[in-house]
Amino acid sequence: MRLLKDKIKTDGIVLNENVLKVDSFINHQMDPKLMKEIGKEFARLFKEEEITKVLTIESSGIAPAIMTGLEFDVPVIFARKRKSLTLTSDVYTAKVYSFTKQETNEITVSHKYIEEGDNVLIVDDFLANGQAAIGLAKMVEQAGANVSGIGILIEKSFQPGAEEIRKQGYRLESLARVKSLAGGKVQFVETKETVYQ
Answer yes or no: pTM beyond 0.85: yes
Q: Is 65 annotated as a binding residue?
A: no
Q: Is 130 annotated as a binding residue?
A: yes
Q: Which domain holds residue 183?
A: 2-188
The tens digit of pLDDT for each residue in 100-143 reads: 778 888 899 999 999 999 999 999 999 999 999 999 999 999 99
State the amino acid at position 196 in one-letter form: Y
Number of domains forming the structure of the chain = 1
In a domain, 195, yes or no: no
Cis peptide before 110 (omega within 30 of 0): no
How does the average pLDDT of the chain come out, rounded? Answer: 92
The tens digit of pLDDT for each residue in 56-90 reads: 998 899 999 999 999 999 999 999 987 666 666 78
In a domain, 69, yes or no: yes
The DSSP code sequence of 71-109 is HHT--EEEEBSS--TT--S-EEEEEEEETTTTEEEEEEE
Q: Is 149 annotated as a binding residue?
A: no
Q: Is 102 annotated as a binding residue?
A: no
| CATH number of the domain enclosing 152 | 3.40.50.2020
In a domain, 163, yes or no: yes
In a domain, 24, yes or no: yes
Confidence of residue 42 (pLDDT cuts 50, 70, 90): very high
Q: Is 12 annotated as a binding residue?
A: no
Q: Is 128 annotated as a binding residue?
A: yes
In a domain, 14, yes or no: yes
In a domain, 197, yes or no: no
In a domain, 35, yes or no: yes
